[in-house]
Structure 1
Amino acid sequence: MADITVLGAGGFGVALSVMLERFAHRVTLWSAFSEEIEAIKRDGEHKKLLPGVPVPDSIQLTDDISCVAGKELVIFAVPSFAVRQVAQKAVSYLDENTIAANVAKGLERGTLKRLSQVLAEELPRNKVVVLSGPSHAEEVARGIPTTIVCASDDRESAQKVQDIIMNKTLRIYVNDDLIGVELGAALKNVIALAAGINDGLGLGDNSKAALMTRGITEIARLGCALGSQRETFAGLSGIGDLIVTCTSMHSRNRRAGILIGEGNTAAQAIEKVGMTVEGYISCKCAYDLSHKAGIEMPIIDQMYEVLYNDKKARDAIRDLMERPKRHESEMVWLLSR
């Protein structure tokens, strides 16, 4: 049994808290918004983001960031854009032996940094790990069998987190490829937006399968150029997370994509989803990273045009289909350029 604080009372933060409490951990759930905490206390659940999932009274609810003090593990479950700000609030209260774990899936806008890099900058005394994989909050909270990875530059810390939170419904594998795990987690959201657009346009399984397979190829191409291992993208944080995010209606990215395919602008779709759509931010980051590194990512390029320049989705599909001929093997294509 461990003493754990979860920072962020969104759907996944609540789901993690409920799951951890179920397996006898002492859990504190923090939100920056006092009204969110009061609503959960009043309703006994998060009615907007995780309706029907009771939040036990044994979970301490607070808007006081000092709740991170003296904890064995602090889990950052806030949106990617808030990770740095929340870390800055927490740093003066954190013990140096506390492990900081991040579950947000994205990149920092502007700096293009991975979120583990952001946490390492703001929490220089603490070990940082990342939890990632196919793990919708709605299913984690219900105890549906789920399998993810725990990645870190410090294997001992990753193994410690594995020991603390792995249980009968959550299986965790340790992964040493922090770069690959984080890039797979962030960029699959862009492909999920594309898969949603495919569905919103009324296209078929063939085109969605093409988007998913060529999408993971693009992600792996960029990841390898930035120092990750190709096999990571065949794992839980790569193709595993991509599959669940592209096919499930639990996915906010897919739902936003469907709305875009039906004729809404990106801004309208995000407003209608009513929650953070990480793929929108990640698309701009991926576009900038790929052009900076000189890596070809045609799906990302077209998604950038659709999301940020109001290009028609059907025009983007046409341009993808009419690209010059290629060999499917990356090595053959590279050697024949």
Structure 2
Amino acid sequence: MIGIIGAGAFGSALAVTLGREGRDVWLWARDARDLEGQISRKLPGVELPESVSITADLEDFSRADTVLLALPTQVLGGFLTENSATLDSKALVACCKGVDLATLRGPTALIAEACPAARAAILTGPSFATDIARGLPTALTLACADEAVGHLLQHQLSTAVLRLYRTTDVTGAELGGALKNVIAIAAGVVIGAGLGDSARAALMTRGYAEMVRLARALGAQGETLAGLSGFGDLVLTCTSLQSRNFRFGHALGARETFDPSTTVEGVATSKAVTALAARTGVDMPVAAMVAALVDGRISLTQAVQSLLSRPLKQE
């Protein structure tokens, strides 16, 4: 049995793709309105397979050896602490991208702190929930420090259309998924402000360099950032309006309103990353610009000027 906590778009999409393979899946929803019968409100027109059971009681997960945590990073730590008695000792796979603003930790560190007996892993990479739910081919990174556990999870969670690549570099995979959200906001600002595709390409390239610098400073392998969880996810989220982070940045750049009920992980992550950069002495001008812009400390004009006025240097 596989448990999935969080019946948002991504959690529901994972339930759909695993359920279509006939696997026994239990999907937990805090808000019953997210699911009406076997239909997900977050994925219009997509029906959950019969092998997916819906529950609002975490005790139903007692038989689950593997639990996917499809919750926003900023609420993950509190949820794990509150429900550690039920979740400890299981394989817990974080399905979120970000850095916890309160602790400056990634999802697997939050798992380890709240559930020390759990086997922690993270599932990340370039993916839109609607693509997964529609059965379109998708490849993701599964990162687990324990190679044997990672191997088991890779086979347990892969499907005919969801291909998982394994790594033990958890730090690199986590930071790739977290940092690309910040760069995606900046890319959205560029396009929303009408600065053009050439400017976006330059922004993505320099943003990627920032991602690698911080990841290496925190002990990650640079090549991990060149994979699905870094470069792959960066390309996807910086070039599509399906990305919430890109849409948010686009609204900022175009001076338009944005739905405040939409979770935009890159907002909190930009602030956490700026703190991490200061702690490690890593120069991250794009992340710093995003953090200042979303906080209202600088205007859009000032944000653009802050990047264009950077000193000329060797690439």
TM above 0.5: yes
The equivalent residue for 2:81 is 88
Paired AA for residue 34 in structure 1? A
Tell me the distance in 2 between the aligned counterparts of 1:40 and 1:252.
24
CA deviation profile, 1:64-85 (whole Å, cap 9, x unmatched)? 1112212121000011112122
- Contact 2:98 2:265 (8 Å CA) reproduced: yes
- Contact 2:14 2:132 (8 Å CA) reproduced: yes
The equivalent residue for 1:140 is 132
Per-residue deviation at 1:40?
2.4
CA deviation profile, 1:207-263 (whole Å, cap 9, x unmatched)? 111111110100110110110011111110000000101111211111111111111
The equivalent residue for 1:177 is 169
- Contact 2:26 2:55 (8 Å CA) reproduced: yes
The equivalent residue for 2:281 is 294
Tell me the distance in 1 between the aligned counterparts of 2:306 and 2:240.
27
Paired AA for residue 289 in structure 1? L
The equivalent residue for 1:46 is 40
CA deviation profile, 1:147-192 (whole Å, cap 9, x unmatched)? 1111111111111110101121011111111111101101100111
Q: How many residues align?
A: 315
Per-residue deviation at 1:90?
3.2
Per-residue deviation at 1:95?
6.3
Written as runs of structure 1 = structure 2, the 5 A alignment for 1:232-251 is 232-251=224-243
Q: From 115, 122, 132, give the equivalent of 1:123.
A: 115
Tell me the distance in 1 between the aligned counterparts of 2:78 and 2:28.
14
CA deviation profile, 1:10-65 (whole Å, cap 9, x unmatched)? 000000000000111101000222343xx422xx3223x21111123431111111
The equivalent residue for 1:22 is 20
Structure 1, unaligned runs of 5 or more: 329-337
The equivalent residue for 2:55 is 62
The equivalent residue for 1:9 is 7
Tell me the distance in 2 between the aligned counterparts of 1:20 and 1:186.
25
Paired AA for residue 46 in structure 1? S
Percentage identity across aligned positions? 37
Compute the TM-score of the two structures, normalised by the length of structure 2.
0.96
- Contact 1:65 1:89 (8 Å CA) reproduced: no
The equivalent residue for 1:158 is 150
Tell me the distance in 2 between the aligned counterparts of 1:33 and 1:88.
20
- Contact 1:13 1:77 (8 Å CA) reproduced: yes
For the residue of structure 1 that corresponds to 2:305, the secondary structure is helix
For the residue of structure 2 that corresponds to 1:232, the secondary structure is helix
